[in-house]
Structure 1
Amino acid sequence: MADFSIIPFNGKTPRIDPSAFIAPGCRIIGDVEIGPEASIWYNCVLRGDVNFIRVGARTNIQDGSVIHCDSGHGTGGGYPTIIGDDVLIGHLAMVHGTLLKDRSFVGLGAITMDGTVIESGGMIAAGGMLTPGKTIGANELWTGRPAKLMRVLTDEQVAGNMMGVEGYRILARAHKAENAARLG
């Protein structure tokens, strides 16, 4: 018996690759797809009720994060949340109506708002707030509230972020095994 909730909404049921790790306490609702070896950590909420959410392969969404999407409030298609492959989303982040391209990074407690984009290798620093419609370019580091460009990351820093993704992929396997043994 799982310690997380997979909740259909409006005729859509979340689809989760069997190799993904979904930690106890998570709530995954509606039109959500989670890719291979992705990890959704303890007490995250992914709510695809007014638009859709996609999470790519090997992406990790760390403890307490909230992922939602935008309906457009009757004005159009709104903004889904699309998270690419090998993305790292830090603890307590809030990602709303955002496109996170492959290998992007969202720092601890950061907020991304409707219509924002983080290009490959781009990063919003811990505590940053990316306001609606802004784009973080490839390998750029943005910080602050509201977030602004701080500098371009070095190749070594981008590689370091990818080491974090790999570390979480390995850690997720261990947590998945421990939870499977515990839950029988």
Structure 2
Amino acid sequence: MILTYGNQIPRISPDAWVAADASVSGDVTIGPGARIMHGARIIAESGGSITIGRNCIVLENAVIRATSSHPCRIGDHCLIGPNSHVVGADIADEVFVATGASIFHGASVGEGAEIRINGIVHLRSRLAAGATVPIGWVAVGDPAEILSPDRHDEIWAKQKPLDFPQFVYGIDRNTPHIMREITGRLSAKLSQHGDETGKK
């Protein structure tokens, strides 16, 4: 389903293909030869934009999102695996994002990098060209250090100063009832999708 709202209209190359049960919403550009497979969700929130390059493959149930503060760009010849999640990141050419991997706001992934099954590139982290995040491991920091998931204290020491609530939502981590504040603001922003119209 190709969805528009306000003046946010997807632009899809005639040489690309989007499955009928995938969703492409908002300011999204999809390049020639790209394939958006069944159940994939490519959602640009109001003010955000997504660019997907030439011959990119976005497999089943992957989610690619952009916000007004964090556009998302995926270079040419990338593969975004099933059930993976990319939000507000900049991904260079020829990157492999495996099943269940996650790449967060403000992250940068260098050319030819691999994020393997359930790997994570954390927000504001910069993964070097050609780097590999092993299965289930976490890349965090700028430049990214790649750590096994059992090293939580080391991951948190690098992750905490990246300040997820402030960077993503503009809210101080110590705000009382922080989730009420986050969900209230996000609900208001996402209400703009209420006038979506679509075509298959």
Which TM-score applies when normalising by structure 1?
Answer: 0.72
Residue type of the partner of 2:65? Answer: H
Amino acid at match of 2:20: P
Instruction: Kindly report which structure 2 residues correspond to 1:40-59, keeping only aligned pairs within 5 A, or say none.
Output: 40-50=36-46, 51-59=48-56
Matched, 1:146 2:138: yes
Q: Determine the C-alpha separation between the residues in 2 that align with 1:142 and 1:129.
A: 7
**1:145 Cα deviation from its structure 2 partner:** 4.7
**Cα distance between partner residues in 1 of 2:91 and 2:56:** 11
Counterparts of 1:138 and 1:80 in 2: how far apart (Å)?
A: 20
Return the match for 1:97 from 80, 88, 100.
88
* Structure 2: runs of 5+ lacking an equivalent: 140-144, 148-200
CA distance in 2, matches of 1:98, 1:127: 17
Structure 1 unpaired stretches of 5+: 72-77, 151-184
Q: Which residue is 2:165 aligned to?
A: none
Instruction: State the AA in 1 paired with 2:55.
Output: R
2:112 matched residue in structure 1 = 121
Cα distance in structure 1, aligned partners of 2:127 and 2:35 = 24
1:107 equivalent in alignment to 2:70: no
Report the equivalent of 1:38. Answer: 34
Contact conserved, 2:45 with 2:67, CA < 8 A, in 1? no
Q: Work out whether residues 10 and 49 of structure 1, in 8 Å CA contact, stay in contact via their aligned partners in 2.
A: no
- Structure 1 distance, partners of 2:6, 2:72, is 18
Deviations 1:90-142 (A, max 9, x none): 11110000111011111111011000011100111110121111111111101
Q: Share of identical aligned residues, percent?
A: 29
Cα distance in 2 for residues equivalent to 1:45 and 1:37: 18
Query: Which structure is higher in strand share?
Result: 1
Is 2:126 the partner of 1:135? yes
Written as runs of structure 1 = structure 2, the 5 A alignment for 1:53-68 is 53-68=50-65
Aligned to 1:69: 66
How many pairs are equivalent?
140
Q: Distance in 2 between matches of 1:82 and 1:10?
A: 22
Q: 1:85 aligns with which of 60, 73, 76?
A: 76
More displaced stretch, 138-147 vs 81-90: 138-147
Q: TM-score, normalised by structure 2?
A: 0.67
SS class of match (1:102): coil
Deviations, residues 14-53 of structure 1 (Å, cap 9, x unaligned) = 0100111111211110100100000000011111123000
